[in-house]
Amino acid sequence: MDYNDMELMICLASRYLEDDSIVVVGTGAPCAAAMLAQKLYSPRLMIMFEAGGIGPLLPSMPISVGDSRTFYRALAASSMPEIMETCQRGLVDYTFLGGAQIDQYGNINSTMIGKDYKAPTVRFPGSGGANDLGSLCWKTMMITPQDQRRFTEKIDFVTTPGYLTGPGAREEAGLPPGSGPYKVITNLCVIGFDEQTKRMMVESMHPGITREKVIENTGFELLWAENVTASDPPKADELNVLRNEVDPYRYIIGRG
């Protein structure tokens, strides 16, 4: 079956969102994954947007978190403080985040590249709500291409905490026990986090991908699950819904 990397990543991500769970998403691939999950696997999935949309039934792909479609047939049109308060109260199961760099403990940089904060080589938009979401939601996921520039030994700025320096570090920083990075879904593999060391651990590799290719596109040493499986490729019904209902204008899947 013909599919591109973006379609593969979205389909894989959608399968992790259980029915009756709550997810805060932004626009782009995370929103597409949540929409696909809601249409195929988890009809009672509660989708929330940072700008205040709670529980919409998305008619089509929104272009921003404040797009009117994020309030379509929603349970509430609230505000950013209410969304963040809901996360702080421990009610949100999942969030999706992105960034320019990520390290082996799932710490994310979306602020700057360089050694000097005041004079960076590259300045990015920064946290927005990413620090709050990554700190307070129970499970953080990321959809991203994998290469050594993104997957780096040491990130230049910690915008969003993962497991910080390892076991116990989140709790010492005052973050909810049991929260933290959950899955990183890339164009090469699906990565989880080792329960003991809190380091990235490869759980499955996509069709046609070798261990050597994963290693050469990672800037640090990965752990490997005892039984690394083959990622289940997109199914016909997933691609049909994704292409014809979720993203018919190919705003997102056209990037793959």
Express as a percent the part of the chain with pLDDT over 70: 100
In 3D, which of 22, 11, 185 has the Cα closest to residue 106? 185
Query: 193: helix, coil or strand?
Result: strand
Give 128's pLDDT tier (boundaries 50, 70, 90): confident
Q: How far is CA 222 from CA 147, 228, 242, 254, 256, in A?
A: 13, 13, 31, 30, 25
Q: CA-based angle 27:214:237, to the nearest 5?
A: 50
Averaged pLDDT for residues 252-256: 87
Q: Any idea what DSSP says for residue 232? A: P
**Residue 149: what pLDDT?**
95
Every domain of the chain and the residues it spans: 5-248
Query: 245: helix, coil or strand?
Result: helix
Which CATH number fits the domain 5-248, given the four candidates 4.10.80.40, 3.40.1080.10, 3.30.110.40, 3.40.50.2300? 3.40.1080.10
**Residue 187: what pLDDT?**
97
Active-site option among 50, 153, 226, 238: 50
Give 146's pLDDT tier (boundaries 50, 70, 90): very high
Averaged pLDDT for residues 136-165: 97
**pLDDT tens digits for range 38-50:** 999 999 999 999 9
Whole-model pTM? 0.95
**pLDDT tens digits for range 70-111:** 999 999 999 999 999 999 999 999 999 999 999 999 999 999
153 in active site: no
Q: Is pLDDT at 255 greater than 90 in this prediction?
A: no
For the chain, what is the mean pLDDT? Answer: 96
Whether the CB-CB separation of 33 and 45 falls below 8 Å is answered with no
Pairing of strands 108-109, 180-185: unpaired
